[in-house]
Amino acid sequence: MTVTDAGSVSGAWLPWDQRHAVAAELDRSAPGPALAARLADLDPTGLDEEGLVEAIAACDRLASWLAERQSQFVAALVDRTPSSSLEHVPDEIATRLGTTRRAAENTVELATGLRAHPPLADAMASGALSARKAQVLLQETDHLPGRLTAAVLDRVLVGAEERTVPQLRRDVRAAELALDAEAADLRHRSARAERGVRMVPAPDAMAWIHALLPAVDATTVMTAIGALADRRETGEERTADQRRADALTALAHRVLDSGGDLDGLPLPRRQRRRPHLEVTVSAGTLRSADCADGVAHLAGYGLVPFCAVAGVVEDADVRVLRVDAEGVAIGGADPTDGYRPSAELVREVVARDRTCRFHGCSVAAERCDIDHVAPFDPDRPAHLQTVASNLQALCRHHHRLKTHGGWYASRDPISGATLWRSPTGRIHIVSPDPVLPAGRPPPPRPEASAAA
């Protein structure tokens, strides 16, 4: 970077780099140990504004350099892992860093992507490209054949330092069409297989629904809910966005309330129960005339103010769920004299575990397998093994990880915590989730769980 701004000192014009020596020094510094040491020695309060800006930029270059270095270690770990266990590398990293598996997968994908495309790695090592931009470039070109990927990256890397992430996304798409427009339809047909819908919790008991759809299908959805939202009653005060959101919710309500699909066929059951909303709330809150101070747990989302779900609870079926002094759900279902637990025992395990019992996994228990913590032994009495204390909810991935991936699980009979031992011998503890939020005393009466 060359800066040409100038100022006057004692009547003489001086270049910018002489007026702001520290800023200029930082601007010229390549990322690495020497720059890290220089930044560690700097006192932010002693820098002028130009120096502060360049220190911020230097930290960003250093972060890119470190991310590239980390990727080299990740790539080395991948190289040393047998091919049959490669899918478990993110689990090892996630548990060590205390992060989600998805975040660890991103780390592994970045490492393998940088190794496949050395120019990206070089750009990060020089500080010209951030880890975020590199990840975006790899994600946006992941669907392209290798030769076309290299050509696209060669085009967009020029000037990438000055481009924002959204601009880089547009640059990749423009380069892709310019280099291979005839294959666009084939890629679209393949991309249709990736369509899906997911929910992402947001603050204030709200959530985002993200849907990846073919463009024509997305337009169909928006046209339909737009048409429903266009019907306005007299005195309507809702905005157009609010009416569209309510129209989408009304469609889903109609399906759940009927218990059937669009052709009238019964909906598939999960854990031997029809699809439903489940809200867990203390008996005291349920009896209270004022919902303002109440807290509830909405399965699939988490804790919410009770007022946010009070309307659902009014018409719900109620069943009792006992909790211990720590607010953790307990039950009294009888053991099952067989490998497959009874419906009552399954409901008890799902209510207790709430999510997959692997470290950092948030897959809802109702979507999980019910796993025997200590593997079922057909030579032992079944009623001693198919009991709540030896059952846990595990998503299909982590169930396979335990069965075939070299991970060992055990359950502490006193605390109820699950202890996981990784193939490298590291121990990770997954504590049971309380029904009530931390810091709130347990209710004086049993919990009540409402299913709508």
Read off the tokens for 109.
Answer: 């994908």
CA angle 416, 419, 422 (to 5 degrees): 165
User: CA 152 → CA 149, 164, 289, distances in Å?
Assistant: 5, 17, 63
Closest CA to 122 of 72, 173, 175: 72
- Report the distance separating Cα 89 and Cα 312, nearest Å: 42
Asked whether 309 and 301 are in contact (CB, 8 A), the reply is: no
Which residues is 210 bridged to in the sheet? 198
Tokens 């093994």 correspond to 385
Helix (H/G/I), strand (E/B), else coil: 439: coil
Please give the order of strands across the beta sheet that includes 427-430.
408-411, 418-421, 427-430
Q: What is residue 289's predicted lDDT score, i.e. its pLDDT?
A: 61
**Residues 6 or more apart in contact with residue 185 via CB below 8 angstroms:** none
Contact 343, 336 (CB under 8 A): no
Residue 365's pLDDT is what? 87
Which residues, listed in sequence order, are joined to residue 279 by a DSSP beta bridge?
298, 450
DSSP 82-137: -GGGGGGHHHHHHHHHT--HHHHHHHHHHHHHHHH-HHHHHHHHTTSS-HHHHHHH
Please name the residue that has the structure tokens 């899906």.
196
Q: How do the pLDDT tens digits run along the chain, 452 residues long?
A: 444 444 444 435 788 888 889 999 999 999 999 999 999 999 999 999 999 999 999 999 999 999 999 999 999 999 999 988 889 999 999 999 999 999 999 999 999 999 999 999 999 999 999 999 999 999 999 888 888 899 999 999 998 999 999 999 989 988 888 888 777 777 788 888 889 999 988 988 999 999 999 989 999 999 999 998 888 877 888 899 999 999 999 888 888 888 877 777 888 777 667 777 778 777 777 777 666 677 887 877 878 888 888 887 777 666 666 666 665 666 667 778 788 888 888 888 888 888 899 988 988 888 899 999 999 999 999 888 898 889 999 999 999 999 999 999 999 888 889 999 999 889 999 988 776 554 444 444 444 444 45
Q: Give pLDDT, residue 18.
A: 85
| Residue 369, C-beta contacts closer than 8 angstroms, at least 6 positions apart | 393, 394, 395, 396, 399
CB of 296 closer than 8 Å to CB of 303: yes
Per domain, the residue ranges of the chain are 6-191, 196-258, 278-327+436-451, 329-430
**Per-residue pLDDT at 255:** 83
pTM of the model as a whole: 0.57
Structure confidence at residue 324 (pLDDT): 61
